[in-house]
Amino acid sequence: MVKETHGKAHSSTGREAAETAKSIGEEMSDYARDASRMASKQFGRAQDAAIDAFDETEAAIRRNPLSAIAIALGIGFLLGVLAARR
């Protein structure tokens, strides 16, 4: 009789642990799905922002090509000076 009671209690505890593990697994899957969805949205926003910045830069270069060349030469000069110091 004691063995039967012990066996039933052990079986019940095992089932509860399995159900808890399954529940936790499902919750983690939901969290992962939500995180993936949010990351995809943020990536899309960042990509849109980069495209907008590129378009604005291109438009500024077309409006002021000489200024753009002067800025590019200045940046190139500064990078050359910094690279020569190393």
pLDDT for res 12 = 80
- For the entire predicted model, the pTM comes to 0.54
Contact 60, 68 (CB under 8 A): yes
Instruction: Read off the tokens for 37.
Output: 């969805």
DSSP state for residue 84 in the 8-state scheme: H
Domain that holds residue 51: 2-85
pLDDT of residue 9: 54
- In single-letter form, the type of residue at position 72 comes to A
* Separation of alpha carbons 49 and 59, rounded Å: 15
Give, for all 86 residues of the chain, the pLDDT tens digit: 545 555 555 678 888 888 999 999 999 999 999 999 999 999 999 999 999 999 999 999 999 999 999 999 999 999 999 999 87
Into how many domains does the chain fold?
Answer: 1
